[in-house]
Amino acid sequence: MSRFAAPIAKSIWDMKYRFKQADGTPIDKTVEDSWRRIARALAEREPEHEDAFYEALEDFKYLPAGRITAGAGTGRSVTLFNCFVMGTIPDSMSGIFEQLREAALTMQQGGGIGYDFSTIRPKGADVKGVAADASGPLSFMDVWDAMCRTIMSAGSRRGAMMATMRCDHPDIEAFISAKSDAARLRMFNMSVLVTDAFMAAVEADESWDLVFDGVVYHTVEARDLWNRIMRATYDYAEPGVIFIDRINAMNNLAYCETISATNPCGEQPLPPYGACLLGSVNLARLVADPFGEAAALDEAVLARLVRTAVRMMDNVVDESRFPLEAQRQEAQAKRRIGLGVTGLADALLMVGLRYGSDAAAAQTEEWMHQIAREAYLASVELAKEKGPFPLFEADAYLASGTLAHMDEDVREAIRAHGIRNALLTSIAPTGTISLYAGNVSSGIEPVFAYSYTRKVLQKDGSRTEEEVVDYAVQLWRDKFGDAPLPDYFVNAQTLAPSDHVKMQAAAQKWVDSSISKTINVPEDISFEAFKSVYLEAYATGCKGCTTYRPNDVTGSVLSVSEQSETVPEAETGAEVIYMSEPLDRPSELDGATYKLKWPESEHAIYITVNDLVVNGHRRPFEVFINSKNMEHYAWTVALTRMISAVFRRGGDVSFVVEELKAVFDPRGGAWMGGKYVPSILAAIGGVIERHMIAIGFLEGEGMGLKSDPKAEVVNLGQRRGPACPRCGQYEMRMVEGCMTCGACGHSKCG
């Protein structure tokens, strides 16, 4: 009997978390092998706990973050930490580019990073000693964005970045409007650091100074600036809002650090070089007698699971590699962990509660209180055994905003024995690991859709369909057959924005870091009602707010009628398809060979692109790149293999062209055909693009697929997601602050 609750769960495990040899041969024969690998690795220094660790992992009860699940016990040189905030950016050219180098090293190992760009002088400010004006932080963000495009994170996932800027920086208005350009800063999530003083000025309708280094550059009306933030978010889904003073006031470590940035999805506010690892308790697996009269979360199992998870995560701090020594030192000094939950909405359904109701909010607060209490007590026990974190100071630690409302017996235990981990709780994005766990609801988000159809192209060219059903809905079907779902079954499309805020605020009370949460709002929400969502989030104690309103720039998520159990199926008119395995290569393929002469190079490069015909449509299938110049040998072979591997997986592979054309050579590019080409790789990208246009795969230069998958509307009146850039299916949705594919788990920020 399979451990996997759904076919997609096994697919995600095989694709993302299964340990394999370099040639793809599985080392983990079963998911039990994966659990044993992780348990053994995290118990290396205390093998007596290996079986307890395995039991926690078994049946997906505790879900370490993807970095741990994929990397622990493999011997690979990757970080097991998900979240990093980089060092403070100095206001100097050398300092800025040193930070750029550190960012590249961190993303190379798979870390998502956050930066506060408020420390860079505004555009037009004097640059002393060189008789020039500063270009401002936005120009340097463009450099970071270009760098991120060229770095492939560990686990074949592109790096994700968060950029923050204070609400009183002189360039804040340019920062707010940056995402109005659909082609700019696409590698960044962006958030404004909003202070309590600014919110007070908004409420009082006062003026607001924009200041850098003690100099007032401009004075604006606070409400006008707030409205600009809100309008950009309303129109383009960014920037988000981070209530930075609340974060610092509530921080357990306020006595020894100041926070001004977060990781890409916002659940980890961190100091310079701060790092945090993540993991989630799967509440959907802990409900006894689901949908029955005695349905309830098994609190004894929850308590035991939380205590084991804390020990496992504390061990990760010592077992992980770090891209930078400063990150290792920061992690060791404070031993931050981010234990959270997933499957909350499913668990609430199983005990008969409507997500967003007062009863569900109260139950969520109670569950989160128990998790926080058990986590802190477990960390105290670890402190008795192994010592508290090095920077622990009892009085200062217990004076923080978070500890002020902690249970008195927990406070006394901390005072008496210290605590091993400075911060312990966080609600992380869990899109992919939730699919791996059987499509449980993600994090503390509501159920997005009760079910949808996933198409998989097989090796023989046929297509199979898999229904992907929410975990709680499948349990209901297993127990009651075709009986209609009760009224308390709600999804993200039918909830009022205030219900989202209520649930976020209920969870935040017992989360010492922060929460990755998206508040879905209808497209036709009025601007005034939209602004009230943010004011409600501030008033109810949230540390930040991220909304998603369907729009032309970011695309529209799929909506489902309240009565419908199924997501309308979209056709793949352009044959944008996902191949579970690469197609077999026919014995003969048609193609074309192109000669590329790079200026000042002794030998030409020859590029052959061969095509496959699928259902009457030609698409690129493989690439060969050759040159007599032996200096080119290694990278041309690598490029040949990587591009061909991508092409053979199917989907919208036009992104390969985009990525190649974005590569710039620091030694300089060349003029070719009247155009400046920034590197030889960009020139190769141009050749492949021209081939795609010639065979009809692209409509024109930079214009994507000939038949735009977003243009096919199947069910009139229903909004649907854009096609996934990885698998081509129409299951992209905004979850926990990040566009995520429900079919394959692809996400730009993990």
pLDDT tens digits, one per residue of 137-152: 999 999 898 888 776 4
CA distance 49 to 47: 5
DSSP annotation string for 183-225: TSSTTEEEEEEE-HHHHHHHHHT-EEEEEETTEEEEEEEHHHH
Angle, helices 527-539 vs 497-508, to 10°: value is 10
Write the secondary structure of 130-176 as one string of H (helix), E (strand) and C (coil): CCEECCCHHHHHHHHHHHHHHCEECCCEECCEEEEEECCCCCHHHHH
**612 in the same domain as 665:** yes
Cα–Cα nearest to 178, from 232, 127, 215, 224: 232
H or E element at residue 671: strand 670-672
CA distance 252 to 425: 11
Confidence of residue 457 (pLDDT cuts 50, 70, 90): low
- Measured over all CA atoms, what is the biggest interatomic distance in the chain, rounded to whole angstroms? 79
In a domain, 557, yes or no: no
Share of the chain above pLDDT 70, in %: 85
Q: Active-site residue among 238, 257, 267, 689?
A: 267
**413 in the same domain as 282:** yes
Reply yes or no on whether the pLDDT at 473 is more than 90.
yes
Alpha helix ranges (H) inside 463-622: 471-480, 497-508, 527-539
- Residue 686: both structure tokens together: 């141009």
Mean pLDDT of 627-645: 83
**280 in the same domain as 237:** no
Task: Write the pLDDT tens digit of every residue in 32-57.
Answer: 999 999 999 999 999 999 999 999 99
Reply yes or no on whether the pLDDT at 337 is more than 50.
yes
Cα–Cα nearest to 355, from 445, 475, 486, 484: 445
Residue 178 Cα distances to 51, 183, 243, 546, 709, angstroms: 51, 10, 20, 17, 27
Q: Is 267 a catalytic residue?
A: yes
Domain containing 302 equals 7-79+270-417
- Residue 321: both structure tokens together: 């590699």
CA distance 96 to 89: 6
Exposed, middle or buried, 562 (CB in 10 Å: 0-12/13-18/19+)?
A: exposed
Task: For residue 467, count other CB atoms closer than 10 A to its CB.
Answer: 13
Cα–Cα nearest to 509, from 627, 394, 405, 606: 405
CA distance 699 to 654: 11
* DSSP class of 492: T
In a domain, 439, yes or no: no
Task: Write the pLDDT tens digit of every residue in 297-321.
Answer: 999 999 999 999 999 999 999 999 9
Q: What is the pLDDT of residue 157?
A: 47
When the pLDDT of each residue in the chain is averaged and rounded to a whole number, the result is 86
Q: Of 364, 384, 417, which closes a domain? A: 417
Task: Write the pLDDT tens digit of every residue in 342-356.
Answer: 999 999 999 999 999
Q: How many domains does the chain fold into?
A: 3
**112 in the same domain as 70:** no
CA distance 719 to 298: 39
- Residue 744: both structure tokens together: 């394959």
In a domain, 141, yes or no: yes
**310 in the same domain as 194:** no
**62 in the same domain as 137:** no
CA distance 84 to 65: 14
Are 267 and 322 spatial neighbours (Cβ–Cβ below 8 Å)? no
- Residue 682: both structure tokens together: 């960009």
Task: For residue 137, count other CB atoms closer than 10 A to its CB.
Answer: 28
In a domain, 277, yes or no: yes
CA distance 654 to 643: 11
pTM over 0.85: no
Least confident of 245-249, 324-328, 682-686: 682-686
**59 in the same domain as 109:** no
Q: Of 646, 670, 694, which closes a domain? A: 694
- Cα 181 off chain centre by: 22
**101 in the same domain as 75:** no
Reply yes or no on whether the pLDDT at 65 is more than 60.
yes
**392 in the same domain as 276:** yes
In a domain, 315, yes or no: yes
Q: Active-site residue among 83, 265, 545, 727?
A: 265
The residues facing 623 across adjacent strands are 609
* Phi, psi values for residue 7, rounded to 5°: -55, -35
Q: Of 664, 694, 724, which closes a domain? A: 694
Instruction: Give the three-state DSSP class for 625.
Output: strand
**290 in the same domain as 342:** yes
Q: Active-site residue among 82, 189, 251, 263?
A: 263
**245 in the same domain as 118:** yes
CA distance 420 to 691: 58
Q: Is 263 a catalytic residue?
A: yes
Q: What is the pLDDT of residue 152?
A: 45
**373 in the same domain as 338:** yes
CA distance 397 to 256: 10
In a domain, 448, yes or no: no
In a domain, 307, yes or no: yes
Exposed, middle or buried, 617 (CB in 10 Å: 0-12/13-18/19+)?
A: middle
Task: Write the pLDDT tens digit of every residue in 405-444.
Answer: 999 999 999 999 999 999 999 999 888 899 999 999 999 9
Task: For residue 668, count other CB atoms closer than 10 A to its CB.
Answer: 9
Confidence of residue 159 (pLDDT cuts 50, 70, 90): low
In a domain, 451, yes or no: no
